[in-house]
Amino acid sequence: MTPARSTAITNALVYCCDDAFTTINPGTVVFRDGVITDVGGTSTVEIPGDAELIDGRGRLAVLPGLIDVHSHSSLLKGFSENAQLMDWLPQYQREHQVLTEDDAYHACLVSYMEALKGGTTTVTDMYRYLHRAAEVASQLGLRVHLVPYAADHPTKLFFETIDTNEQLIRDHHNTQGGRIKVWLGLEHITYCSEQMFERVRELSQQYGVSIHTHTSEQKEEVDAVVELFGARPVEVFAQRGILQRGSLLAHCVWLNDSEIELLAATGTGVAHCPTSNMKLAGGAAPLPAFAAAGLNVGLGSDGAISNNSLSMWETMKFASLLQKVSRYDATALRAEAALRMATIDGARTLGVDDHVGSIEVGKDADLITIDLWQPHLLPITQSEGHDPVLWNLVFAARASDVNNVWVQGHHRVSDSRLTGIDEVAALNEIHARTQSLLKRREATTSVAMLP
């Protein structure tokens, strides 16, 4: 049930992440019935008489909830290590060869618990048995864009199918107050037939839902696609008609200029996953070229399996560092740009920027607070028109610094604890389930990436 009372967070450093990148200090944010009703200076905003008051005492930052535009739930982080994508994928897929519904439920549980506690209020989850993901998302109260790993190649039939994807749309799209959305998912281009692409395109029209896949993560992967199809991956997507406004492609590290133009011309967005791209030694996506072409770019963790962490704080920092080091340019991807990508730009890639991604009156109250009164986040001061707090949020803040999270006005993390679940009991269950999955995984052998 939506709380009837207003909530007001006062005396805080408010980062609105709106178009003008408004910051207010000391600022106040008021919300009621899940919607932001007032934002402004603490001395000017009128606080409703019935409001629950949270006094930041100059030591709290308020941000829009962070948005992870490409993730994969998993129970098994730390198991597929020291490998580039094409060697890594077959190892990762051993989990999928034996995955059950209950494994998937617990994978989503552990992943969404971590995400929400770290201030991520929207997760795009490409995974399986996603009706169970919907169950977890309802329980914890975060927003999810559920995207089945679907494939139809005879060697990859352990993945979801276009039919289970359609069923998921029918059962769960736009449920839970709109917090659960379902998209169409295509696993790797080499696992999905032309007929499957055609059906995905049809269903996208029929249900008005977007299409998500990943591509061009490693140079050798692109070479292999060119060899198989006689065209580069994004050219194949164009031929198969899935590039359109709302479609979202993860990674896009190895795109050439004409592929970037194809994305720009069709309004297709990019989910940039810097940590995973660094860890799997994929490369540095050409963000300046994306910006020049006017592409919508959000940030993704890519899930714990290729990152070991779902922290969007780390993702923001690494996004910036990766651009700086790969371009030998210390001015590349400033803190503001990284924070925009993790909030409003991410919302835009998901087509939900009309109601989330920034702190503005009339938008949903997806809000987080960060406790700044800690050694690694001082100083809290501004001078000469410079804001060190913004830089320190992007380069020094940790997921564990998030002490409150509201999603659509519901208080989902309070005093750094999840409100919707007994965390200790959940961890015990997750641990037991992981042992069981590992035993079954040990009995598998990997299937080569390329058919």
Residues near Zn ion (CB under 5 A): 214, 302
63 has which bridge partners?
Answer: 368
Minimum distance from residue 271 beta carbon to Zn ion (Å)? 8
User: Of 22 and 91, which has the nearer Cβ to Zn ion?
Assistant: 91
Do 48 and 38 contact (CB within 8 A), yes or no?
no
Minimum distance from residue 305 beta carbon to Zn ion (Å)? 9
User: Of 279 and 317, which has the nearer Cβ to Zn ion?
Assistant: 279
User: Of 221 and 364, which has the nearer Cβ to Zn ion?
Assistant: 221
H or E stretch including 293?
helix 287-293
User: Of 83 and 378, which has the nearer Cβ to Zn ion?
Assistant: 83
The DSSP 8-state label assigned to residue 358 in this structure reads S
User: Of 186 and 238, which has the nearer Cβ to Zn ion?
Assistant: 186
Measured at the CA of 45, the angle between CA 44 and CA 48, to 5 degrees, comes to 140
| Torsional class of 219: left (φ above 0), alpha (ψ -120 to 50), beta (otherwise) | alpha
How far, rounded to the nearest angstrom, does the alpha carbon of residue 168 sit from its chain's CA centroid?
20
Minimum distance from residue 302 beta carbon to Zn ion (Å)? 5
Indicate the pairing of strand 269-272 with strand 248-251: parallel
Minimum distance from residue 428 beta carbon to Zn ion (Å)? 29
Minimum distance from residue 221 beta carbon to Zn ion (Å)? 12
User: Of 17 and 350, which has the nearer Cβ to Zn ion?
Assistant: 350
Indicate the pairing of strand 248-251 with strand 211-215: parallel
User: Of 214 and 340, which has the nearer Cβ to Zn ion?
Assistant: 214
Minimum distance from residue 184 beta carbon to Zn ion (Å)? 16
User: Of 414 and 446, which has the nearer Cβ to Zn ion?
Assistant: 446
Minimum distance from residue 214 beta carbon to Zn ion (Å)? 5
Minimum distance from residue 93 beta carbon to Zn ion (Å)? 13
H or E stretch including 237?
helix 233-239
Measured at the CA of 34, the angle between CA 30 and CA 36, to 5 degrees, comes to 35
Cβ burial of 57 (10 Å; 0-12, 13-18, 19+) is exposed
Indicate the pairing of strand 248-251 with strand 184-185: unpaired
Do 8 and 30 contact (CB within 8 A), yes or no?
yes
| Amino acid (1-letter code) at residue 156 | K
Measured at the CA of 23, the angle between CA 373 and CA 294, to 5 degrees, comes to 120
Structure tokens at 139: 């329980």
Instruction: Give the residue among 335, 371, 342, 369 at the shortest CA–CA distance from 357.
Output: 342
Minimum distance from residue 70 beta carbon to Zn ion (Å)? 6
User: Of 111 and 358, which has the nearer Cβ to Zn ion?
Assistant: 111
